[in-house]
Structure 1
Amino acid sequence: MVCNGHQDCYDGSDEANCTSEASEEHLYQFLSIGVDQSSINSTSFLISCWMAQQKMVLYTFLPSIAKVSDGVWKNMTWTTDSVYRFTDLEPYTNYNVTVYIQDSKSNKTYASMKYVNTTTGEGVPSPPRRLTVRQMVGSRVNLIWDPPSDPRGIIQHYTVHYVPPLPPMEKIVPAADNNVSVSFVIVGYFKPNKNYSFWVTATNNGFTSESTAIMNLTFDEGGDVDDIVNASMSRLSPTSVSLKWNKLRGVEGYLVETRLPRQYPQPPVINTTDNRVIVRSLPKNVQIYIDIKAYKNGIIGQPFTIPIVTEGISEEPIHLNAEHVKENRSSVRLSWSTPSVDQNKDKELQYEVHYLLFKDLRQHTGHLENDTEVLTKNTSIVIEGLQLCETYVFSVGLVGAGQLSVFKEFITKEDPKAAIRDLRFVFDEKKSELQILWKANCDVITQPISYRLDITELTNERVSRYELKATEKVALSHVIENVPLGGRYNVCIHTSEQGSAEKCGFVRSGEVDSPHAVVAWLSPNGHLMVSWQHPEDNHTDPKHKYQIIVSDKEIPEDLLHPTDDMKTALADFSPLLMTANSVPNGPLFVSVRAISKDGYYSDLSEVRTLTMEGAEAFESDSTASGLGAVWWGAGAACVAAIVLGGALLHMALRHRRLARSLLRLAATPRYDSRRGQATIDHDDDDVPPISGFSDDEPLVIA
């Protein structure tokens, strides 16, 4: 590895274990490879490579390619050209490309260690599969097919072709995102006893597939729900008409629908099996459209529409008033005046009141559909049981006259006892703040409302209560400061009114990092060894303690307080040796969680399941267990004896060497009169001789 002056590894080992001189192989790692995007087609593309070259050195390149899907590399041929085109590739396939290098100087082959990824262009998709054609009721044909087995791109749409007529008719069907079967219904002018041919093609961003096999269909003389003809109308009165049409063979019935302007209530649809019907109670002097539709097997045919302008003088619209009912927030009092039209004199009038939520009116584009209707002969009425703090639309008109009053919007009052809305929480770990946000029970608050907060800290089961000042605000919030990390809280909010409904929510003030990689061993005598890892293991000053939970039952993932039948233990670090409650008769479940300095728990680690034989098994096999215990004890004794014997042998040898040294020092010196020297007997020649001394020299013995 060559030093580059930049630390890439977290421990700096890349710069510590490197050399300053670049090798030939490292030089070729500076080679760059690129794909010419303009050269990409469905079966080939160009690559080019460039690098700093040495003088008088010839370089050759070996391109290599592999599909990402299988990772099988294929080497091409050596070339001196730095540009190469891969051919005979599969359309719309993802490839990895690299280049090997060989130079004339060393005649060695080096890997460039550079890779480039690219995808070939889209190709011609295979045809759609398994096309089926089925005749439906009326002039309808249902086609079902499967997507191409090899789309070679992203299918954008399908084209359905059918003849006759000539040239063939074409229908574009958008492709779905998921690779599922496609069902499409053609509504055309198919005639009985006539043969039709159908086929389908698929198109991606670049090409269109071959067609499916041609499917032929001969139409039967079934009931055609689209063939209503020769419909006629006759006026019976200014407010009623009679309709008649040719009867269709094989249909189940007919639907007659009257479409009125927006300010009129929509009359019910008439369902009949006859080919004639009378439409009554039409409004006067109004443009009306009547649709006649046949149906069979749940298929409703195309409508035959008859436009009508009714005769007579239109009714005078009624002016409607709405007001609150005292001491009843869910009621409204409606009142209106009697129409002053002369034709209504000496008649007992009956009124129809319509109302619905404003949001439902918008959903039905301003038409009174699925509304509530109330009939009355009075000119006032009290509507009860409305939803609180909602906007309603009311309208009233004469029964049979048709035209309703102008829509009257009305907002029911808020209920100070109603529950709040949209309770949510935001925890800021940096500021240690928990923000509680909610909305009032109504979008319009007319009187100030006071709120109470009951916050239960679930870990230590402490309850805090707050009461806020009364306010008319709709969007409210409250901030709790100095919230420790890892807390679990149940927050309930309600108004200060007696008997008010409360809204509760669960929130956590962040999460303490959980241990992981838990490993546990269980010995036959019930001792349990547990080890784990934690993100703070590399810290010199641990910030957490750990709680080990052992149970003979499954440990819930959301466990907060261990039950009485669970065994727990605290540890400052991993591993921990502990004892289980007893020798288990079945599986034993072990989990670990971290405890912050504030005493809050992390989530449980993964739960390890240990399976051991029960106590009965140990009793029935007591001889083997006892023998095993003897062997464990004998083994431990042997190890201790060997260690002790080694220590004694070392001390004996050391003592012997010291004794020999003392004996040699105490030996009688031998005087050599020829040399005038005295020596002590010693086997070592390196011991210096003792020279003689004269009487006038002091004798110093050290």
Structure 2
Amino acid sequence: VIQAPNIHIDSYDENSLSFTLTMDGDIKVNGYVVNLFWSFDAHKQEKKTLSFRGGSALSHKVSNLTAHTSYEISAWAKTDLGDSPLAFEHILTRGSSPPAPSLKAKAINQTAVECIWTGPKNVVYGIFYATSFLDLYRNPKSVTTSLHNKTVIVSKDEQYLFLVRVLIPYQGPSSDYVVVKMIPDSRLPPRHLHAVHIGKTSALIKWESPYDSPDQDLFYAIAVKDLIRKTDRSYKVRSRNSTVEYSLSKLEPGGKYHIIVQLGNMSKDSSIKITTVSLSAPDALKIITENDHVLLFWKSLALKEKQFNETRGYEIHMSDSAVNLTAYLGNTTDNFFKVSNLKMGHNYTFTVQARCLFGSQICGEPAVLLYDELSSGADAAVIQAARSTDVAAVVVPILFLILLSLGVGFAILYTKHRRLQSSFSAFANSHYSSRLGSAIFSSGDDLGEDDEDAPMITGFSDDVPMVIA
């Protein structure tokens, strides 16, 4: 009669055990078969089989066990007379039982599943998956990784069961299984959604079809959500192209929008968030200093921004670097602003921008002006004197040149007047006849001829005043 072998547990710890097998009697032993059984739940018993050849006595160490886990060891001997009866032994490994991983899995396209889990570090995990529970526990497919995430490639149009567990340095308990149904083509989201160009009131968005080379027209639904005004708009696009572009208009400068694109059958969506370009800064920001205040001037934004309405107005901020203070001065619908109560010796920075809307969420770009001309004490007097001297140096030479030009002009006019007066007097005296009491003018060709037809000027008598026209 063949007796069962003797199992002697030599030692064990958290992840290993050592045992010795012996046979009583003189029966020749050709080998042993040892099975280790354990389970982490009531639904599945796991087993590990070890085979050994020759020898009536055998010692062996089994590693890769799990802490605080109950193991059943069964063994029988192979002899020339047949197999011996089974012998059994039980142990409970030392230590604390490791926690089971917590798994999350989802399909990210037609053939890829993203698996993410939590669990111990510095171990090797195995991800097991199959299309049925029977295959999952008997003949699953698997991949390994030392990370806490893995993308698994599977077949299209299938439903899979996933679980994850530690494989090295021990075989730990498995996670709960997760069911993942692969996404059919018609339920995939658009791919690679992005903004090509973003302006003040428009944006050009672009995306790729959910799958390559569509064989029919696809209907896309586009939702534009205003994150500031809390309003929604929707559009529809029809295209068979693999790449689709769409221009969004009537946006608000400086606005924030959430854009969602999905197929018309309300499949999974793709989304992006954009911020439109703000209104430009006002041009030609200038400052004029008065006795007790300063005036800020700038050009109207309506001259270059069609979207700007003067009724919106501007807001003015001031920063004082001396005390590290920034203040809101106010707003105005004019193109100027008065600022008072400035302190000597302080440097100020003024900013002017289109007035912000909805709690300072929609603002224009600021125009910035540094004002550091307010000095104190003697420095202010010196600067004022220097400015007066500079003005005088320019004005006095100009006034002198103007006066000199006027004097020269009057002298020239007076000289010409005297010459004309002398010439006329000499001419009149040479043609006046005191005997006739008149002046006669004739051409040189008529000299010596009858002067009946000669022109005659009368009225140069002493009692008739001479009028020169």
Give the TM-score taking structure 2 as reference length. 0.37
Structure in which a larger fraction of residues adopt strand: 2
Higher Rg: 2
Give the TM-score taking structure 1 as reference length. 0.27
